[in-house]
Amino acid sequence: MTISFNEAHGFPSFLPFGIKLGEFQLSGSTDAIPLDQGFAAVVTATGVDAMTLATPVSGGPFSTPGNVLSTPGQNQLQLLVLSTTAHAHTITVAANKFNGTTHVATFSGTLPNWLWLYAFAGVWYTLGSAGVTLS
In the predicted structure, residue 81 carries a pLDDT above the cut 60: yes
Q: How far apart are CA 64 and CA 11, in angstroms?
A: 29
Closest C-alpha to 40, from 74, 72, 6:
6
Angle at 18 between CA 13 and CA 23, to 5 degrees: 45
Range of the domain at 54: 3-134
Which is more confident, 59 or 134?
Answer: 134
Instruction: Please name the amino acid found at residue 116.
Output: W
Nearest to 112 by CA among 76, 77, 85, 72: 85
Question: What is the tally of structural domains in the chain?
Answer: 1
Number of H helices, E strands in the chain: 0, 11
- Going by pLDDT thresholds of 50, 70 and 90, the confidence category of residue 77 is confident
The span from the CA of 38 to the CA of 6, in Å, is 8
Confidence class for position 78, pLDDT limits 50, 70, 90: confident
| The CA-based dihedral angle spanning residues 48, 52, 53, 54, taken in that order and rounded to the nearest 10 degrees | -170
- Tens-digit pLDDT profile for residues 52-69: 999 998 887 554 555 555
